[in-house]
Amino acid sequence: MTTEDFNFETLTAPCPVCRSDNTKVTQKIVNLPHFPQLWLFNLLCNDCNYKHNDFLNLSVKEPIKYIYHAENKDDYTTKIVRAANGTLRFPQIGAIIEPGPSANGFISNIEGILRDIQQKAQHLLRDATKKEEIKRIGNYIKLLDEYIEQNHPIDIVVEDPFGNSSIIPFDPDKLETIQLTKEEAEKLKTGFMVFEDVKQKEDD
C-alpha cells in the first residue's frame, strides 16, 4: 500500500509511563488509497522504551461502525485501519479485539488479523495444562486454519467511538457503514491516551 506524505514533525512530550521528557512523538499526515487524510503518530520513550502507535481520522469525527462481509480470497485482502480506540469483532468465530490502556493502532487485512489471533491462541495452547482447555484451544486453532486457508465467509465489525478506525474494502458493495448513537458509543471500551504539555522539538 502506497502513501503520500503531507508533513512530518517531531515533538516532545512527557512519557505516560515514567514521565520522562526524553520522549519523542513523530507524526505525519498521509493519504491512503480510497481513504481520507489520516494522522499517524508514534511515541517512543528513550528511557523506559515505552512505545505507542495510533491513528486519527481527520475527516470522520462521529462514532462509527463498519461491517464488511468477506466471501472469498480477494475479500480477505480488505484493509482494516484500527485506531487504538477501535473494537474489532468476528461474529462467526467469536473473536473480539478490544482496546486497553496500552492498545496500539495498526493497519492490516482480514487474513493478517486472523493469523494474529491464531498466533495468540497458540501461545495460550503452550501455557495450557488441563486436557479440556488444550482440546478447546486446539479446536479453535484448527477453526482459524479453515477460515484462513479456505477463505470461508466471515464478517468483520469495526466500531470506534471517536470515528478514527475504518475499513478499506476490496468490494465497496460488501461494506456497511452505520452511525452509532451516543448511547452505543458509550458502551464501547476505549484506550484513549492524552499527551499533556506537548511541544515542538527545537532544533539544536
pLDDT in tens, 93-116: 999 998 876 677 888 999 999 999
Which pLDDT band holds residue 195 (cuts at 50, 70, 90)? very low
What pTM value is reported for the model? 0.73
Q: What pLDDT was estimated at residue 191? A: 58
Q: What pLDDT was estimated at residue 72? A: 97
Q: What pLDDT was estimated at residue 110? A: 97
pLDDT(46) > 50: yes
CA distance 50 to 159: 26
Segment of 33-42, 110-119, 161-170, 182-191 carrying the highest mean pLDDT: 110-119
Q: What pLDDT was estimated at residue 198? A: 36
Closest among 113, 53, 104, 105 to 77, alpha carbons compared: 113
Domain ranges of the chain: 4-200
By percentage, how much of the chain surpasses pLDDT 70?
82
By percentage, how much of the chain surpasses pLDDT 90?
48
Residue 79: alpha-carbon gap to chain centroid: 11
Listed in sequence order, the residues at least 6 apart from 111 whose beta carbon sits closer than 8 Å to its beta carbon are 76, 77, 148
Which pLDDT band holds residue 84 (cuts at 50, 70, 90)? confident
Superfamily of domain 4-200: ZPR1, A/B domain (2.60.120.1040)
DSSP 56-108: EESS--S-EEEEEEE-STTGGG-EEEE-TT-EEEEGGGTEEE---TT---EEE
Helices and strands per DSSP (H, E), number in the chain:
3, 13
Q: What pLDDT was estimated at residue 102? A: 66
